[in-house]
Amino acid sequence: MTTDTDVRIDPLWWSWEGAHGGHAAAVALAAVRDRFAGGAQAVRTLTTHFLAPVDTRPLHFSGTSPAAGRRTATCVFTGHQGGQPVLLGSALFGPGREGPSYDGQPAPDVPGPDECAQVELPGHLAPFAKQLEIRPATADLPLAGGDRAELVAWVRFSDHRPLDAAAVLTLTDVLPPALYARWRTPRPVPTAELTVHFTDALDQGVTEDWALVRIRTDHAGAGWAVDDGAVWSADGRLLALGRQSRVVRAAVSAG
């Protein structure tokens, strides 16, 4: 099956030089879920390659579902703006079923959101952050020159939207790159590829309000970084795991 659809990116979700990557991926998920998977099955994995910055022009998605059976549906899609590809990705959908349970990623033991102070990210670095309330849950802060490339924070959307798959996908990418916890000078670290795996916790219905988000850099070198992310509900259920490849650019000049 092959089909097409058009959407627009909300300009409120602007980042360094284009739309925030996690939000753009969430828009892609919403576009392909109904068109290619019938909207009935839960998303299990979404991979997005960012080919160029996404702007506010109409974003045209085309794609195909080369594998669609009773158990899973796999969709491959491309997002175009102005006739040029800006996004390329794939999504895997499938229903829940009986099976063993295991939790190898328990939520960090941190104070609750009411015990953590809100932080505002610089508007010129992350305009999209105005759509969020972010409360760091550990002593590691962006641009604080710490020892660890890891950030953990409570996050909720300013409009208090429920934590469905699209919202959780956005949250995997809302914290600053984990290397910011080690740096004192900002620099662009755009996402080149983002893969998010969703857990069965979302099968049990959406949650609301706060989510606990962690991002850490597993490796950096040669102008690239690999970031590992996780999102938990306020009651400690793992909602999604994210993995992304980032390009590390030169530091921003003070002038």
Tens place of pLDDT per residue across the chain (255 aa): 455 778 888 999 998 789 999 999 999 999 888 776 665 579 999 999 999 999 989 999 998 887 666 678 888 999 999 999 999 999 999 888 888 999 999 999 999 999 999 998 776 778 899 999 999 999 999 999 999 999 999 999 999 999 999 999 999 999 999 999 999 999 999 999 999 999 999 998 877 789 999 999 999 999 999 999 999 999 999 999 999 999 999 886 654
Distance CA 74, CA 76 (A): 7
**16 — phi, psi (to 5°)?**
-55, -60
8-state DSSP, 243: E
Cα 157 to Cα 14, 107, 151, distances in angstroms: 15, 20, 18
pLDDT at 197: 98
Which amino acid, 184?
A: R
pTM of the model: 0.93
pLDDT at 98: 87
**182 — phi, psi (to 5°)?**
-100, -25
- 251: how many CB neighbours lie within 10 A of its CB? 12
3-class DSSP state of 13: helix
Cβ-Cβ contacts under 8 Å for 255 (sequence gap 6 or more): none
